Amino acid sequence: MGIFNRIADIFKANINDLLDKAEDPEKMIKEMIIEMEESVNKTTLHVASAIANEKLLERKIEKARKDVIDWEQKAMQALSAGREDLAKAALEKKAISLRNVNDLQPVLEQSRAMTNKLRQQLDQLKAKLEEARARQSTLIARSQAAKAQKQIAQAFSGVGSDAFSKFEKYETKIEKLESEAEAFQQLAGEKTYLDDEFKKLATSSTVDDELLQLKAKMGLLPSSDESGDK
C-alpha cells in the first residue's frame, strides 16, 4: 500500500518545495494516477481470483457433504442386502468425505476472510483514485501558478534579469550618443557662425575697395591738393 503514502505526500506537500526538486510535480502527479489505476486493476484481479477460489471450495464442500449422504445410503442398502463388507466399505468412503468437509471448511473460512480483506483494499484504492482524479487538476493549477510566481520573483530579485540589464545598458548608450551628437552640433554651429563673420569681413573689405576704385574712375575722389588744403 505504498502508493497511498506517495499520493498522501503529494497532497500534503508544498508545491513550491516540489519545484525545487528534480521531479516535475505535474508529471509526478500524472504518473501516480496511472500507478493507482494499475494498483486498482491488479487488486481487482486478486479479488476475482479469491472469489473464484472461494466458490471452488464451496463446491468441493457441497460435493463432499452429498458424498457423505450418498455413502451412508449405500451402506444402508448393502446391509439390507446382507452385504456387511460392502456396507463397511461404503462407511469408509463416508468417513473420507466427512473428513474432506471438516478439512475444507476452515480453508473456506480463511478464503472468505481474505476475499473480504481484498474487497476492502479495493474499495480504499478506488476511493483514493477518485480523490486523486478530483484533485489532479487543482494540484496542476497550483503547480503552474507557483512556477509563474517563482519566475516573477526571480525577475524582481535580479535572477534572470539579463534582458532588463541589457535594456538599461543600451538605453544609457543611446543617451550618450544623443548627448555627443548634440555637442558636435553645437560645436559645428559655433564654427559656422565664425566662418560667416569672417566671410562678411572679407566681403565688406572687397566692396570698400571696389567703391574707392569706382569713385576714382568717376573723378569723385578729392584731389591731393584739395586734400592738402584741407
Residues 112 and 185 in one domain: no
Q: Provide the residue range defining the domain that includes 110.
A: 2-160
pLDDT of residue 29: 75
pLDDT of residue 33: 83
The residue out of 124, 140, 160 marking a domain boundary is 160
Q: What domain count does the chain have? A: 2
Summarize pLDDT for 62-95 with one digit per residue, the tens.
999 999 999 999 999 999 999 999 999 999 999 9
Helix axes 84-157, 25-80, angle to 10 degrees: 170
The residue out of 160, 180, 198 marking a domain boundary is 160
Question: Which residue's C-alpha cell is 560667416?
Answer: 196
Residues 152 and 177 in one domain: no
Cβ–Cβ < 8 Å for 136, 143 = no
- Is there a domain that residue 230 lies in? no
Residues 125 and 30 in one domain: yes
Distance CA 97, CA 80 (A): 22
- Is there a domain that residue 229 lies in? no
Q: Grid coordinates standing for 40?
A: 486498482
Cβ–Cβ < 8 Å for 11, 138 = no
pLDDT of residue 161: 56
Residues 125 and 183 in one domain: no
Helix segments in the chain, DSSP class H: 2-12, 15-19, 25-80, 84-157, 162-218, 224-229
pLDDT of residue 32: 79
Radius of gyration, alpha carbons of the chain = 56
Residues 13 and 31 in one domain: yes
Q: Which residues of the chain have pLDDT under 70?
A: 1-23, 25, 143, 154-165, 167, 184, 186-195, 198, 200-205, 207, 223-230
pLDDT of residue 22: 42
CATH number at residue 54: 1.10.287
- Is there a domain that residue 154 lies in? yes
Distance CA 135, CA 143 (A): 12
pLDDT of residue 48: 92
- Is there a domain that residue 113 lies in? yes
Residues 8 and 38 in one domain: yes
Residues 43 and 140 in one domain: yes
- Is there a domain that residue 226 lies in? no
- Is there a domain that residue 227 lies in? no
The residue out of 139, 160, 181 marking a domain boundary is 160
